[in-house]
Chain A
Amino acid sequence: MHHYITEGYVLPNQAHIYWTTMIVLYPYITGIVAGAFIISSLHHVFDKDELKPVSRFAMVMAFAFLLFATLPLLNHLGHPERALNIMFTPNVTSAMAGFGFIYSTYLFILAVEIWLVYRTDIVHLYNETKYPALKPVYWLLALGVLDISEEAKAVDHKVMVFLASIGIPAACGLHGYVGFIFGAIKANPWWASPLMPVIFLLSAIVSGVAMVLVCYIIIQWINGREIDGPCTNALIETAWYFLIIDVTLELLELINHAYMANEDWVILKELVTTKLFFSMFIVQILLGSVIPFLAMGAVVVFKQRIAPGVRNVIGVVCGVLLLAQVAAMRWNVVMGGQMFSKSLRGFLNFQIDIGGREGLLAGIFILCLPFVVIFVFSRLLPLWGDVSTFPAAWMKEKEQVRRPLKGWSKFSS
């Protein structure tokens, strides 16, 4: 831990910053999970058909990011080898003790849901893959359940819809919890607020939708595939709606601080106008909120009158800005809350490390890992639709396709 240069009077133990890049990254990752999951659920549970082209991708993205949500935390802990104590000896009065249970429940729900969504395709691929080496992999992925009769599929679907519907509160719980971790700290006037879980949740949804939007358009561009108009519009619309509520609450929180002008406002005012000026007013509000609000608003209002090419560019640019907005918001909350001392009389000049265990590069590395998982997933299972969208070159020749078992039994009887 560094001893940072301070201004004014900083309590001796606060000349260090205890939560850095990793704790900024952690809510960022879980946020993307929550947002991507909402997109997937809008299709699976609420039958929003426009989002069908991205619903599977969104679900896989949620899963891939969720797999690595604990990594920043483990990397941050002073004793990562004791991490499971959080589940073995949880302290019931601690909000943080809920993490292990909330996280593992949600991971379980998401894993089972993905399995149900993909099970039919896994069985198809088990039967039809060109590569014999992959057969056992598909068998394992199917957990040996190779029944794809209509009855079995109907059961799958029922359970999946049920899981998706409990997945929504679970996703909200996971992210609302993250906000609560900060919002319930009365020692820190920059954090303590009942609005915090709500703001975290809404910004989470914004970042997740934005991530799906950006990835969808860019991957389609790279592969030279057509970008679905209604789907892109629906993603932009969803991001825009959530952005509006999110930013409204974020501003409300700030205005409330200013208007109440408690004893802590003296230092908070200085915090936002100096240390956080760039990351808050420039990145979070101007670039990350005002510009996407106007540009995406134009797409929402003038839907048909905007050329698809322009819309797609707006989608990518604004999506990236929204991702930056949410990252800045996480930064401003987590780091902002530690840049001033609890003496309310001094500041720390925090500088981000580039290298090192909790440095910027480690953060970028962790942020890349979910994409590696998504890539590997895309080689094994179709990301953008059912098995028919999978490259034909990876499948057996048509003639060699074995008839389904059910067909055989009908034929023989």
Chain B
Amino acid sequence: MTSPLNSDDVTRRDFLETVAKTGGQSFLFGSLFVNTSLLRLPQDAAQANAKAKAETEAGKGIIYGFVVDTTKCIGCGSCVRACRVENAVPDGYNRTWVEQYTFYPDGEVVVNSPVGGENGFAEPGPTRNMPAGLEAVQPVRGFFVPKLCNHCIDTPCIQVCPVGASFKTDEGVVLVDHESCVGCAYCVQACPFGSRYLNPDTMTADKCTWCHHRITKGMLPACVVSCPAEARIFGNVSDPTSTISQILSTNRVQVLKSYLGTRPRTRYIGLDSEVI
């Protein structure tokens, strides 16, 4: 698989080109919708990759973590597109996706994620269909929530796999061995977050790997590199000097469906109670 993201030397120029090609309209809209007055461009991706590489090479004791800052996501869908290309994700399935939450004056919440948010979100939330003669209701607020595998510490998908094809690496990454997966889809049922699917090409369970093939070479996951808003932060949580550790130590974070006790390693900043 060749991808402009699949190399160490992604430059600011490459990045801006990618965004210009893919983000466009939703990028502009998103900045209004998310109500961020200043859109921060990411650090130089090459620099970030270099830091990750240094950490990987430093070797032992790496525990990866992922932080999603929902207050920064602009719903451009770059991450979803990058993931699809990087991991050859079949159409109709998603290793990562972006949800749009729209709140209406009467308290109703509408959630949508057309094609997993891959093409961005063109409008400021779906306008509610009203009976004839009544004016359409405009939303009062909204935000985007990127989702991906939570790489849970006590993960039910590994627990239920009958043949041990689902496993966790020492660095805390949950993976599937496609050579031994029998394709029973029990893990798909057991995942509370809808992160897994049965890949129709391989007929085995598939999911976000945090781009394991990249991170083991010291690169960042494709979705992290492609995010123009720094809404996705990935790194070594066992290193107190890493960016992710600093973010985790200075923010209040939450996880999805904490009541299920799966202890996700993917954590969220600014998670609304409506997000399930």
Query: A residues near B, CB below 8 A?
Result: 1, 3, 9, 11-16, 18-19, 73, 76-80, 82-83, 85-86, 89-91, 93-97, 99, 181, 185-188, 337-338, 341-345
Contact = CB atoms under 8 A, between A and B. Distances in A.
Given A3-B92, A78-B184, A94 B161 contact: yes
Contacts of A18: 185, 188-189, 198
Contacts, number: 128
A239 to B, nearest CB: 31
A94 B162 contact: yes
Interface residues of chain A: helix, strand, loop or mixed (majority): loop
Contact of A345 (B92, B111, B156): B111
Interface of B: 92-94, 97, 99, 110-113, 115-116, 156, 158-164, 180-186, 188-198, 200, 202-204, 260, 276
Contacts of B202: 78
A94 B115 CA distance: 33
Nearest to A184: B160
A86 B189 contact: no
Given A14-B194, A90-B163, A187-B189, 8 more contacts: A11-B97, A11-B113, A18-B189, A78-B185, A85-B180, A85-B182, A96-B184, A96-B186
B116 A96 contact: no
B162 A96 contact: yes
Q: Which of A3, A11, A93 has the most CB of B within 10 A?
A: A11
A188 B111 contact: no
Contacts of A13: 93-94, 188, 194-197
A89 B182 CA distance: 11
15 contacts: A1-B200, A3-B92, A11-B113, A11-B194, A19-B189, A78-B181, A78-B184, A79-B183, A85-B162, A85-B163, A94-B186, A96-B186, A97-B162, A338-B189, A345-B111
B80 to A, nearest CB: 9
B182 A82 contact: yes
Given A16-B197, A86-B163, A79 B203 contact: yes
A185 B161 CA distance: 12
A70 to B, nearest CB: 12
Most chain A CB inside 10 Å of its own CB: which residue of B156, B162, B202, B276? B162
Given A79-B183, A82-B182, A343-B194, A12 B162 contact: no
A128 to B, nearest CB: 48
Given A85-B180, A185-B189, A78 B198 contact: yes
A181 B186 CA distance: 9
Given A12-B113, A78-B198, A342 B193 contact: yes
A376 to B, nearest CB: 31
Contacts of B195: 13
A98 to B, nearest CB: 8
A79 B204 contact: yes
A398 B147 CA distance: 80
B149 to A, nearest CB: 11
B198 A1 contact: yes
Contacts of B160: 93-96, 185
Contacts of A341: 194
A93 B168 CA distance: 14
Nearest to A14: B194
Contact of B116 (A12, A97, A188): A12
A15 B204 contact: no
A295 to B, nearest CB: 37
Interface centre among A77, A86, A89, A94 (most CB of B within 10 A): A94
B182 A83 contact: yes
A186 B192 CA distance: 8
B268 to A, nearest CB: 16
Contacts of A345: 111, 276
A184 B56 CA distance: 38
Contact of A91 (B162, B198, B260): B162
Contacts of B184: 73, 76-78, 96
B181 A79 contact: yes
Contacts of A185: 156, 160, 189-190
Q: Which of B194, B198, B204 has the most CB of A within 10 A?
A: B194
Contact of A78 (B113, B182, B190, B193): B182
A50 to B, nearest CB: 41
B263 to A, nearest CB: 13
B156 A187 contact: yes
